[in-house]
Structure 1
Amino acid sequence: RSSAGDSRRISGSEYGPPLYSCTCSSSSSSSSYLSMAAMAVRTAAGVLCPLYLTSPYQDTDHKLLPSSFCPGNKRTGIYCHRRLLLLRSPGRHLQAASQGTERTPVVSEPEDHNPPPVGRIKKPLQKIELSVSSYDTAWVAMVPSSISAKNPQFPQCIEWILENQHPDGSWGPPYHPYLMKDFLFSTLACVIALKRWNLGEEHMEKGIRFVLSNLSFICDEKQHSPTGFNIIFPRMIEFAKDLGLHLPMSHTDIDVMLHNREVELERATRSSSKGAEAYLAYVAEGLDRFPEWEMLRKYQRTNGSIFDSPSTTAALLTHHWDVKCLEYLSLLVQKFGNAVPTRYPLDILARLRMVDCLEGLGIAQHFRNEINSILDEVYRQWLQGNEEINSSIATCAMAFRLLRMHGYKISSGFLTQMDEDFFYSSLEGHLDDINTVLELYKSSQLKFPTEWFLDKLNFWTSNFLAEKISNIRMGESLEEVDYALKFPSFANLERLDHRRNIKHFSIDNFQTLKTTYMLCNIDGKNVLDLAVEEFNKCQFIYRNELEHLQRWIEENRLDQLNFARQKLSYCYFSAAATLFPSEMSDVRVSWAKNGVLTTLVDDFFDVGGSKEELINLIQLVEQWDENYATDCFSEQVKILYSAVHSTINELGAKASIVQKHNVTSHIIEIWLDLMQSMMRETEWMQKKIVPTLEEYLANGYVSFALGPIILSTLYFVGPELCPDIIKDPEYHKLFKLVSTCGRLLNDIQTFEREDKEGKLNSVSLLMLQGDRFMSEEGAKKEIRCLIKSNREELLKLVLQKEGSVVPRVCKDLFWKMSRIVHFFYMSNDGFTSPNEMVSAVNAIIHEPI
């Protein structure tokens, strides 16, 4: 930076992943900057290499210059930033790439199998940096001065345009093969801005050549289309011709553009909805007749902008002078270094997306402090009625979802207005914004009891998304929608979610409004590398734990119990898929061992044991004697009790160390309650007693056998659970709610089989004991309503802080188990099926990414 404060940037063609640009303190010409850069830069190995700006050439041996290797050099005045700078080893030849309609990426990052330090991801979370927009900067550059209409109000934006043209003549974001419409959009806008002030003749000529040679992309359906492209681009063509620019175009290109424009304008103008009106205001720079100020005033934010859009605001300022608009644009030009982003502010939505991304990839545990800090700030803004949250449906929905899931006291009241009519009266509604509806759909699943509106929200958003999937050819964007509909948040498992998100993660990390934008200080490759490494590292631990558990089964001869289902892989999978952090090994092992034992005991009471053997097993647990060999009625009882006895003692001893008091007796009590409830069901069967539905559920939630799995494992999670917490009604209610959900879900999926076998089931009891004749489907429908109400009550109990005595980390286990039982019994009895869950088990435990 010179003494005059002039800062000039040398930018190459923004092809490939984010690289670098230089800021030079010299006031010399651009060629001098290049010479300095070519002489001054060293590679990571310390070898001098010539420096070249990226260009439309393919380089067979190129390297990247990490920012950590190139600090500011006070002697040369060169500073490297995360933009675009390409290093090429000396002696290699450049091969000319095609100059036609398709541009070839020239940069590929070197493979790095070692993940970057977590710190390199943490730092950018503290301050989100948005990329600048050539398109919006061009419109700001067109604003005439308040003093003289013959001069620009923001000459520094003109300078930025002159300094940031790509070698192929275009302006726009980093290269991506599906962003050619964005390049056309930005390039034409920049050419018009230069012509508006008769500057940069050579730049204009190169820009026009680029536009004319790439017009064929207008008809390419694979291309991402900026919002309003079909309306604004043809109008810019007319504007350019009015300014005297020569744009020879074929009749075909003209016909296509005019047809697309007429179709979109007709759709907007024939609609009387507020959404269509908002859309026309948003794309005002593309209309033949600029809207009246009174029409646009209703969309002005408190920051002075129109829709937080610099281009729309600049277009308005060109036609109607407004001090607030001027202040908004002046702030942006100063803040972003002579350019502007495509939307501002965007800080809250960008931060929420980062939190959602880190959690979705399974690496949030590394950034817990940063995430808490972000959510604390968003919560403060929510309570203050922040306009950035309230003016965006997607931001509001995501903020609600993340804040509620993290235990903040947040009302769904603001979402009550977001019905279908409200959506279609908004800009997002006119654009049929699938991502916005998807956010609303996800938020609607976090319903507490009595929040009836969220049921309505869930109904219309799920129908909207399902219709889009059926009517639109399936693409990657709709794959996420399809997944969300198949696996709602209460019925998916975190680790499966992580794997899918990792596989579909895009390091490009761009979003599209009027132009593409991204978080330029967040390196997607760093995030992805960390997620993959974390997943595979944990998977290695899971396989070791599973081998340990297999030895435990063999040592205890549990594999010799031929009457029983051998479900070790499923039991351990349910632990690994939800209790996934590597440090939770004891938690997973306790969960899996108790899961295996409860399955064996359930089968023993169900089909494997005689009445005498069942009574004998319960007596052995009641006595809990070390010398039990001679007291066992049979070899089956001996194997089963021996395994239960040794395992409870082992886990109880470990848990007692964690809890700093003896908990083994409580674990024995949990097991005894389970066996007694199973015995009661056996007696009902033997004596042909038909209990009422209330009696069945009062016993059935215990006999569903989640007690030993959840309640025993709670002792390994971390917090000390004193006897007062264990006796508290909240503790018992959490267990009853999740167990009732599990029992009822199981009953729906096993009804046909159990009905044939003459076994008790809530569906059959409801059909028998209802006030009126009830069909099977009617009974199942009523049971599903009961499941839903229990699940909603459980979620509220898990998330609420006021009056809660059970630590949140412990309450989470109840919710995780609820997700597991919903997942296993979503479409059939997935736990009993020998093949239903095999692919899921392999994905979490055996198949690395």
Structure 2
Amino acid sequence: MDLSSEQSSIQSLVNKMKVEMFSSNCDTHSFISPSAYDTAWLAMIPDPHQPSQPMFKNCLDWVLHNQKDEGSWGDCDAHGMPTIECLPATLACIVALKKWNVGTVCVEKGLGFIEANTEKLLEAMDNHVPRPRWYAIVFPGMVELARTVGVRLIFLPGSSGVVSELFNKRQQILEKEKDADTYQNLPLLSYLEALAASYEIDENDIIKHLSSDGSLFQSPSATASAFMATGNKHCLAYLLSLVERCDGGVPATYPMDGELIKLCLVNQVFRLGLAEHFIEETEKVLAKVYRNYMNQESWAKPSNLVAAQQALFKDSLAFRLLRMHGYALPSDSFCWFLQHEDIRDQIENNQEYFSCAMINVYRATDLMFSGEYDLQEARSFSKKLLEKTVSVGTRDQTHFISSNLRGVIEHELRLPWFARLDHLEHRMWIEEQDSNVLWMGKASSHRLSCHLADELVRLAVQSYEFRQSVYKNELEELKRWSKDWGLSDMGFGREKTTYCYFAIASSCSLPYDSDIRMMVAKSAILITVADDFFDMEGSLIQLKDLTDAVQRWDSKGLSGHSKIIFDALDNLVREIATKYLQQQGRDIINNLQDIWYETFASWFTESTWGKTGRIPSMKEYLETGMTSIATHTIVLPASCFLNPSLPISKLRSQQYESITKLLMLIARLLNDVQSYQKEKDEGKINSVLLYLKENPEADIEDSIAFVREILDEKKKEFLQHVLMDEFSDLPKPCKHLHLSCLKVFQMFFNSTNGYDSNTQMLQDINKAFYIPLEVGNSNPPKPLPLQTGAKKEYLKINSYFNRPSMHYMRRSFATRQISWPASRDGGLGKMFMPPKLRFCFT
């Protein structure tokens, strides 16, 4: 790959995206994909003055011109594949076209899509997962509506059972919720357009529930139905305003918070790994959002379920993005829901609807500081709800999430934020099929517009592949360096050249240039080799000689492994000092040598304890262990390159900055929790084992819990130093390097000692450097010969079900009788509305 031309291509696309996404004249509503379902409902409204014509012809034109190639209408996932939401959307669009007797070809293509894809799409809702409430209301409603305009629907055999079950589920929902005094879910009136003909609705009840803007729960489809039922002038005003604003395709919710849409864009940029390209633009958005939040006098309680969901989604997203960028937004900006029991009850009873909001709440609490008890409560609440959401089944069997969303939730719950490496997180989101989903709507997810989502993914793919190319080249160079200096063939200990480079490359974005990545990786390799030499190979005499040599910085008298380690160290220190002298005109070689000597001295102290059997106090152990973990040896020299105006002597003033000392302590304790058994077997000591010795009544679980409690508190304190300016005057890049280092240690020592394993990291390493991205739209596969065989199999099945003996099938269930005429070209037959329905069956 020509890296310079690839960089140029990336920059060209970045410039284009900046204009499309962040220019002042952009309409934020255009960033959200129009809802084919809601647009179709507006297209159905007849003109009061000319009932044979549609009132909103531009909506009908949108339906005519926005059918997908395969025949569907509605949103696709981030990889361009249809979702279950396409089925009711396609039926609604077919109905709109049939109503005005236009688009015959589009109707036929749409019916072909329904016939060919219903079974496949409904397989996502297998028998082990409850049917989604909204789908059980909307899909049967659209099936019935299609019948009323003479549409012949053909369902393949595999989908008939699920379709029947959805009708059953709808009946249960209608019977259960019709006379409910309080709404535990989105009110049935918000699905007015899809309710069964047997469900009697009072016109006054509709008008009573209209919002001040004339809408029915901010739903264009429900409001369109309300207007056709009542002729209410406020509904009409809402619809006219909507169409004027959107000019064709309308969103699933209107109005939408423009600030929320911009926050979603910023979030998308960050999680796809594109933050480095839009620094100035995203900062402007966040600064404006922060000003608006701080100008609010209070955090108002939302007036209804729809408002509560959007407010909680927005407020928790804003909190996380703003806090991550150093803005001191108070926690009650999104924890307000904890103080309102009715809203908490609504959330608990609407897990499906609030799932995206709860993910945002849980993510926001990743950035918790010491003493923020409301954030701890919000974390416990959201975690409990998310765990319940992904469990199989619920008490009333009405909650459902897609398998993709389930995977996202499980990832959030399984892997702590501190243990995630940015490069791999970016890959996960690029490959995630639902990465274009923003938040849940009434009958579909709000998604980024197809064009914008495609462009962002295309840019993310190019950027990721570019990084992979850079990283592969640097790793090969690092392997040569390690081999040339004899570090990869020491004959003892751990050979971790690839692990060390993987850690720095995957935890930091590209703005950390090649020199810094290589400096950090080389330092980590040397630390690993030297630490192993002190732990398992060298005698006390050899270790003292090496430590003394590092103190005077002279290899005289050294031989064998000691000489190899010192020579490689000397080469690295001189390389770093020379580059810094050339760039900044200052000599830092003595400072570098002093830092390395402190580290070697701490290793020698620990080796002396181990070989002589001396047991230090906890205080003495931690003072030495914080140095021997060697995080400062890595981050301080690199920080000088990240901010050249910062002298290394300042970094070491008063025995290191608080943020550096916190990093040293946390890294040591993370290592101790996962390494205590190995060190016990080797006759060594660490904080977990020391606690046991100092507290004879405790067991190993008590000791681990004690250390984890310290870790939890120190990580909160550390995060506050990283994110808030008043706690540290280190420049942001240096603080973020400290954070990256901590995340590496958390990743390696999260649940096991992954650093000591020779296999545990291999899959992640391959994903980071070698395995191509798996994105549906980036390189569409060529048709495979198997498709021909699949087509033949389909024709064989179709022929079977067209046999004369299959022409008329009858099946009764519950209070309904389903009739299935055999052939598609036969007469429509008698049309039954609830409680009797007729299905056409191939």
Question: Do both share a fold (TM > 0.5)?
Answer: yes
- Kept in 1: contact 2:94–2:146 (CA 8 A): no
- Kept in 1: contact 2:487–2:564 (CA 8 A): yes
Specify the alignment match of 2:599 in structure 1. Answer: 674
What is the identity, as a one-letter code, of the residue corresponding to 1:221?
A: L
Please state if 1:643 is matched with 2:571: no
Please state if 1:263 is matched with 2:172: yes
Aligned with residue 806 of structure 1, among 730, 733, 740: 730
Aligned with residue 230 of structure 1, among 131, 136, 143: 136
Specify the alignment match of 1:588 in structure 2. Answer: 517
Q: 1:667 to 1:321 in 2, by over 3 A?
A: farther
> What displacement does 1:446 show?
1.5
Higher helix share: 2
| Separation of aligned partners in 2, 1:562 and 1:237 | 71
What is the identity, as a one-letter code, of the residue corresponding to 2:19?
A: K
What is the identity, as a one-letter code, of the residue corresponding to 2:171?
A: E
What is the identity, as a one-letter code, of the residue corresponding to 1:230?
A: A
Give unpaired runs (5+ residues) of structure 2.
Answer: 1-7, 126-130, 394-400, 774-842
Specify the alignment match of 1:378 in structure 2. Answer: 289
SS of the counterpart of 1:741? helix
SS of the counterpart of 2:350? helix
Specify the alignment match of 2:834 in structure 1. Answer: none
> What displacement does 1:787 show?
1.0
SS of the counterpart of 1:392? helix
SS of the counterpart of 2:729? coil
Q: Where in structure 2 are the equivalents of 1:131-530 lying within 5 Å?
A: 131-140=33-42, 154-156=55-57, 160=61, 164=65, 172-173=73-74, 178-179=82-83, 182-185=86-89, 187-188=91-92, 191=95, 200-202=100-102, 214=114, 221-222=122-123, 228-232=134-138, 234-235=140-141, 245-246=149-150, 258-266=167-175, 268=177, 274-276=183-185, 278-287=186-195, 288-290=199-201, 300=211, 305-317=215-227, 325-344=235-254, 345=256, 347-384=258-295, 391-418=310-337, 422-426=343-347, 429=350, 431=352, 433-471=354-392, 475-504=403-432, 513=441, 514-515=443-444, 518-520=447-449, 522-530=451-459
- Kept in 1: contact 2:493–2:533 (CA 8 A): yes
| Separation of aligned partners in 1, 2:353 and 2:59 | 35
> What displacement does 1:665 show?
2.1
Please state if 1:663 is matched with 2:588: yes
> What displacement does 1:775 show?
1.0
> What displacement does 1:306 show?
4.3
Q: 1:843 to 1:138 in 2, by over 3 A?
A: closer
What is the identity, as a one-letter code, of the residue corresponding to 2:73?
A: G
Specify the alignment match of 1:543 in structure 2. Answer: 472
| Separation of aligned partners in 2, 1:368 and 1:791 | 27
Query: Number of matched residues?
Result: 723
| Separation of aligned partners in 2, 1:529 and 1:715 | 35
SS of the counterpart of 1:812? helix
More deviation, 121-130/814-823? 121-130
- Kept in 2: contact 1:507–1:523 (CA 8 A): no
Q: 1:324 to 1:820 in 2, by over 3 A?
A: farther
Specify the alignment match of 1:58 in structure 2. Answer: none
What is the identity, as a one-letter code, of the residue corresponding to 1:534?
A: S
What is the identity, as a one-letter code, of the residue corresponding to 1:231?
A: I
What is the identity, as a one-letter code, of the residue corresponding to 2:427?
A: R
Q: 1:603 to 1:323 in 2, by over 3 A?
A: same
Q: 1:638 to 1:765 in 2, by over 3 A?
A: same
Deviations 1:418-451 (A, max 9, x none): 4597454149825354333322222221211112
> What displacement does 1:832 show?
1.6
Specify the alignment match of 2:18 in structure 1. Answer: 122
Identity %: 26
Aligned with residue 610 of structure 1, among 536, 539, 561: 539
Q: 1:721 to 1:283 in 2, by over 3 A?
A: same
Deviations 1:599-639 (A, max 9, x none): 22222322332333333333323323xxx35x325443332
- Kept in 2: contact 1:230–1:260 (CA 8 A): yes
Specify the alignment match of 1:840 in structure 2. Answer: 764
> What displacement does 1:334 show?
0.8
What is the identity, as a one-letter code, of the residue corresponding to 2:39?
A: T
| Separation of aligned partners in 1, 2:105 and 2:574 | 83
What is the identity, as a one-letter code, of the residue corresponding to 2:283?
A: N
| Separation of aligned partners in 1, 2:707 and 2:346 | 37
> What displacement does 1:232 show?
4.2
> What displacement does 1:249 show?
7.8
| Separation of aligned partners in 1, 2:403 and 2:309 | 30
Deviations 1:263-305 (A, max 9, x none): 33345458766432x33242234443447768986783x7554
Q: 1:235 to 1:141 in 2, by over 3 A?
A: same
| Separation of aligned partners in 1, 2:425 and 2:470 | 19
> What displacement does 1:567 show?
1.7
Deviations 1:707-738 (A, max 9, x none): 21111211122352136742567952111212
Specify the alignment match of 2:694 in structure 1. Answer: 769
> What displacement does 1:322 show?
6.8
What is the identity, as a one-letter code, of the residue corresponding to 1:280?
A: L
Deviations 1:38-59 (A, max 9, x none): xxxxxxxxxxxxxxxxxxxxxx
What is the identity, as a one-letter code, of the residue corresponding to 1:435?
A: C
What is the identity, as a one-letter code, of the residue corresponding to 2:430?
A: I
Q: 1:828 to 1:148 in 2, by over 3 A?
A: same
Specify the alignment match of 1:97 in structure 2. Answer: none
> What displacement does 1:184 show?
4.0
SS of the counterpart of 1:471? coil
Q: 1:149 to 1:267 in 2, by over 3 A?
A: farther
Q: 1:234 to 1:737 in 2, by over 3 A?
A: same
Specify the alignment match of 2:747 in structure 1. Answer: 823
Q: TM-score w.r.t. structure 2 length?
A: 0.75
> What displacement does 1:658 show?
4.1
Q: 1:155 to 1:618 in 2, by over 3 A?
A: closer
More deviation, 757-766/209-218? 209-218
Aligned with residue 497 of structure 2, among 540, 560, 568: 568
- Kept in 1: contact 2:418–2:742 (CA 8 A): yes
Deviations 1:352-399 (A, max 9, x none): 333333322323212222222332333334335598898433232222
SS of the counterpart of 1:774? coil
- Kept in 2: contact 1:394–1:440 (CA 8 A): yes
Q: TM-score w.r.t. structure 1 length?
A: 0.75
- Kept in 2: contact 1:273–1:425 (CA 8 A): no
| Separation of aligned partners in 2, 1:609 and 1:260 | 72
- Kept in 2: contact 1:173–1:516 (CA 8 A): no
Q: 1:660 to 1:310 in 2, by over 3 A?
A: farther
More deviation, 527-536/154-163? 154-163
More deviation, 380-389/641-650? 380-389
| Separation of aligned partners in 2, 1:819 and 1:606 | 25
| Separation of aligned partners in 2, 1:730 and 1:321 | 76
Give unpaired runs (5+ residues) of structure 1.
Answer: 1-112
Q: 1:227 to 1:378 in 2, by over 3 A?
A: farther
| Separation of aligned partners in 2, 1:310 and 1:560 | 69
Q: 1:189 to 1:230 in 2, by over 3 A?
A: farther
Specify the alignment match of 2:829 in structure 1. Answer: none
More deviation, 164-173/280-289? 164-173
| Separation of aligned partners in 2, 1:236 and 1:547 | 59
Q: 1:463 to 1:430 in 2, by over 3 A?
A: closer
> What displacement does 1:791 show?
1.0
